[in-house]
């Protein structure tokens, strides 16, 4: 493609585990170049690589840059839509949880209680997995903390039907005990 490569050692493996950068046109271009360099097997240092890619970007025709801009816009829209779909899925699970709470309150039979508790526990696990996914996608550039987790749960709680049934503090206390 565009880069000249040196020997065999792959100096690019260090970067795999680093925090993702906020995506933009240049970062898309750079990531493509990085993937290409990894596939070819190259021992260029990241500093050399970044300098080379930066120079390539500067020399790239505007029409090619426009392609990256279009790709970036499409990816950004897809990302926005998938985040809102994920939050809606979590809210739907919370709404199902609130229906089960009502069922437990209204039905005094012991069998129904244990069936509902079992379903609630399964829902809780699904919610936890989805919340983790949501945090990884939406807050990927922020440090994960208890405060962030509570903020996400509170946002979901506010948008769900469950906030009509129980106070947030009581809900979290009950939710965490399960």
- On whether residue 126 sits in a domain, the answer given is yes
178 has pLDDT over 70: no
Residues 41 and 88 reside in one and the same domain: no
Name the least confident of 1-10, 36-45, 46-55.
1-10
Residues 43 and 99 reside in one and the same domain: no
Query: Using one digit for the tens of pLDDT, what is the confidence trace for 107-121?
Result: 767 767 777 778 888
- On whether residue 2 sits in a domain, the answer given is no
Q: Which domain holds residue 24?
A: 13-60
- On whether residue 47 sits in a domain, the answer given is yes
Sign of CA dihedral 136, 142, 144, 147: negative
- On whether residue 5 sits in a domain, the answer given is no
**Coil vs helix vs strand at 5:** coil
- On whether residue 3 sits in a domain, the answer given is no
What does pLDDT average to over the chain?
A: 77
- On whether residue 1 sits in a domain, the answer given is no
Residues 43 and 128 reside in one and the same domain: no
What DSSP line would sit under 150-173, residue for residue?
A: HHHHHHHHHHSGGGGTS-HHHHHH
Residues 88 and 151 reside in one and the same domain: yes
| CB-based contacts of 45, cutoff 8 Å, min separation 6 | 11
CA distance 157 to 152: 8
Residues 85 and 54 reside in one and the same domain: no
Q: Which pLDDT band, with edges at 50, 70 and 90, does 19 fall under?
A: low
Q: Is the pTM of this model over 0.85?
A: no
| Residue pair 46/12 in contact by the 8 Å Cβ criterion | yes
Instruction: Please state the domain count of the chain.
Output: 2
- On whether residue 69 sits in a domain, the answer given is no
| pLDDT number for residue 90 | 87
- On whether residue 66 sits in a domain, the answer given is no
Residues 17 and 94 reside in one and the same domain: no
Residues 112 and 172 reside in one and the same domain: yes
CA 68 remoteness from chain centre:
22
């Amino acid at each position: 493609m565009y880069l000249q490569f040196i020997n065999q050692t792959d100096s690019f493996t260090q970067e795999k585990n680093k925090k993702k950068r906020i995506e933009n046109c240049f970062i898309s271009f750079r990531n493509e170049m990085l993937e290409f360099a990894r596939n070819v097997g190259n021992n260029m240092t990241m500093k050399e690589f970044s300098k080379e890619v930066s120079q390539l970007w500067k020399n790239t025709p505007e029409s090619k840059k426009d392609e990256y801009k279009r790709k970036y816009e499409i990816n950004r829209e897809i990302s926005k839509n998938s985040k809102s779909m994920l939050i809606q899925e979590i809210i739907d699970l919370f709404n199902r949880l609130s229906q089960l709470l009502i069922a437990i309150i209204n039905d005094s039979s012991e069998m129904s209680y244990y069936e509902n508790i079992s379903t609630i526990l399964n829902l809780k696990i699904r919610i936890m997995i989805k919340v983790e996914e949501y945090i990884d996608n939406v807050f990927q550039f922020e440090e994960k903390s208890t405060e962030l987790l509570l903020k996400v749960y509170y946002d979901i709680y506010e948008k769900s039907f469950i906030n009509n049934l129980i106070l947030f503090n009581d809900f979290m206390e009950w939710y965490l005990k399960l």
